[in-house]
Every structure is written in C-alpha cells, then in structure tokens.
C-alpha cells in the first residue's frame, strides 16, 4: 500500500483552518471542500484516458476523456463533506454511499447503509473519509468495494494516524492512501492527535 502526503502550500493552509478549534462549521465545510479538491486531484493523476478529436474554432485538436470514471464512495456522514469537491472534478462518476457509525464502547464500525454496485470489475474506486484513525471504518468500506471486485482502491482522507495506516496496510484491501498529513498518534478514545476533532460534528454541528 502506497501512502502519499499531499505537500502543497494551499493544502497546508486549508488543513490549518480545519485544525483550528475556532473555525465555525460554515468555514470548516468550505475548507474541507477546498482541501478535498486538492486531494482528489492528486489521487486521480494515473487514471486511464481515451484519445479522440475535438473541433476548435481554428481547427481540429487532439483530446482525451476518462476511459472508465472511478466510483466515488463517501463514508457517511463525514465523507459527505468531500463528495462535492470530488464530483466537481469527476462529474462523470457514479456515487456509492457507505453508511457507518462508530460504536462508542467497542470503537468498531457499525454499518447501516450501502449503495455500492454489486459488480465493480474493471473499475477503480475512491473511498472518501476525512479521518483514518483506527482503520476500522476504512477497512469496512474498502472491503465492500473489494467484495464487488473493484480494481484499484484508493482512500482519500484529510488526516491519518500511523496506527490506522498500519492496520489498513495489513488488510491488503487498499492500493493507495492520499492524505494531507500523518499525525502523531491515537489517544485512548481513538481520536487522532493533534487531529482536528470529530469531522462530522464540526461540519454539521450535531453529535
């Protein structure tokens, strides 16, 4: 599993806004949208294209289109904040929602929804989830798309913990992780430190 840290001045500035506890939900959502656009842009750099020709006002020109647009798989609820940016870059892509909630006693993911197609053979998938903490939610989501025979599986997240990366790599379910930062560690409540808190609560203001 390859881990790519998007080292870009704009990404760093948006990440700083997300980390700041004083950032209100409207500005948090905006910063998440803008950072997600940068992360998805990097994560799609190797997509295959087909060549064709377009007619400009001055003559024909070579052009390219995506051969097979990737499926976008946001993990609810926090992944919703990344979906809009991904759709702006990939309007051709279908969306498969994966609904997970964390059991606060076991810290394990509890699934309540999936609209991922049953057959993803020959297709790549971008799993969108702001936080890679223990790796439990990412493993659950990526197992769903792997069971559907997805080809290339990439996890796009704002922050990752070393523990989550190690756990996810051990599953063999993910090919690539794109993130803005790998932070220090997880605390006893399985939150990323220094992190940014709960990405869902900070977006929507409802626990």
Question: For residue 13, what pLDDT is reported?
Answer: 98
Q: Whole-model pTM?
A: 0.92
* Residues 99, 20, 165, 36, CA torsion sign: positive
Residue of 19, 101, 175, 198 marked catalytic: 198
In the residue annotation, 77 being an active-site residue is answered as no
Query: Which is nearest to 193 in space by CA: 169, 148, 152, 163?
Result: 163
Question: For residue 107, what pLDDT is reported?
Answer: 61
- Binned at pLDDT 50, 70 and 90, residue 101 comes out as confident
Report the alpha-carbon distance of residue 108 to residue 101 in Å, rounded: 8
Residue of 46, 106, 118, 119 marked catalytic: 106
Q: CA of 120: how far to CAs of 9, 65, 113, 147, in Å?
A: 35, 20, 18, 9
In the residue annotation, 102 being an active-site residue is answered as yes
Cis-peptide, bond into residue 173, ω within 30° of zero: no
Residue 89 is inside which H or E element, if any?
helix 80-89
Note whether 82 and 128 are within 8 A (CB): yes
Which CATH number is correct for 2-46+68-204, 3.90.1150.10, 3.40.50.1220, 3.40.50.2020, 3.40.640.10? 3.40.50.2020
How crowded is residue 167: how many other Cβ atoms within 10 Å of its Cβ? 17
Residue of 102, 143, 151, 171 marked catalytic: 102
Question: For residue 148, what pLDDT is reported?
Answer: 95
Question: For residue 113, what pLDDT is reported?
Answer: 87
- Binned at pLDDT 50, 70 and 90, residue 207 comes out as low
């Amino acid at each position: 599993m390859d881990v790519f840290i998007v080292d870009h001045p704009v990404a760093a500035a948006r990440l700083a806004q997300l980390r700041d506890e004083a950032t209100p939900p409207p500005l948090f959502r905006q910063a998440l949208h803008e950072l997600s656009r940068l992360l998805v842009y990097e994560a799609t750099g190797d997509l295959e294209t087909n060549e064709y020709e377009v007619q400009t006002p001055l003559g024909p020109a070579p052009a390219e289109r995506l051969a097979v647009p990737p499926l976008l798989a946001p993990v609810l609820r926090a992944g919703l904040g990344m979906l809009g940016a991904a759709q702006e870059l990939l309007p051709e892509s279908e969306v498969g929602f994966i609904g997970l909630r964390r059991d606060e006693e076991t810290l394990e993911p509890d699934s309540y929804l999936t609209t991922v197609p049953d057959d993803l053979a020959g297709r790549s998938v971008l799993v969108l989830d702001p936080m890679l903490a223990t790796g439990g939610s990412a493993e659950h989501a990526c197992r769903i798309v792997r069971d559907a025979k997805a080809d290339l599986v990439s996890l796009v997240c704002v922050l990752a913990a070393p523990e989550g990366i190690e756990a996810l790599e051990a599953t063999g379910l993910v090919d690539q992780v794109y993130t803005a930062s790998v932070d220090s560690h997880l605390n006893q409540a399985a939150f990323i430190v220094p992190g940014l808190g709960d990405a869902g609560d900070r977006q929507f203001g409802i626990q």
